[in-house]
Amino acid sequence: MDTNVLVGGYSGDARYQNDAECLHYLYSLAGKRLYISSLSVAQLISTFQKRKSNEEIINIVRDLQHRFIIIDFTNNDINAAIAATGDDIEDNVQYVLAKKQKCRIIITNNYKDYRAFQSVQVFKPTNVRRIPK
């Protein structure tokens, strides 16, 4: 799961209803492992720092910890991301971590930034229901 979907889904903003619906669908999938990176958690915290209270942010982070396996990234992962062919280094990090966990699908609103990575399927939040229950 890319950061932008998490931020949209937890924003409470009606403009990001697709992201929230995507998360609810994923949370309903039995037996599927869901992954996010520790980078995504840090970015979400940073994004919400000016828009939400610390208590709200803590509750969101606890919910993420409950629902996702959070992948830490290392210096080797950063170096692999820098060497990757994608144009967006943050998305390169997400891709490297997805491959590290053998993820088959990445969900993102930045579909174009993942086109260079042929070894994973990329879904927009509006298409996530194609993942079978």
Using CA atoms, how far apart are residues 113 and 98, in angstroms rounded to an integer? 14
Which amino acid makes up residue 15?
A: R
Domain ranges for the chain, please list them: 3-128
CB 95 within 8 A of CB 81: yes
The answer to whether 40 touches 10, Cβ cutoff 8 Å, is no
CA 125 to chain centre: 11
Q: Is the pLDDT of residue 113 over 90?
A: no
Tell the CATH superfamily of the 3-128 domain: 5'-nuclease (3.40.50.1010)
What is d(CA 42, CA 56) in angstroms, rounded to the nearest whole number? Answer: 15
Does the pLDDT at position 88 exceed 80? Answer: yes
**Secondary structure of residue 25 in the 3-state scheme:** helix
Bridge partners (DSSP) of residue 35 are: 69
pTM of the model: 0.91
Q: Chain-centre distance of CA 69, in angstroms?
A: 11
Per-residue pLDDT tens for 20-54? 999 999 999 888 899 999 999 999 999 999 999 99
Whether the pLDDT of residue 133 is over 80: the answer is no
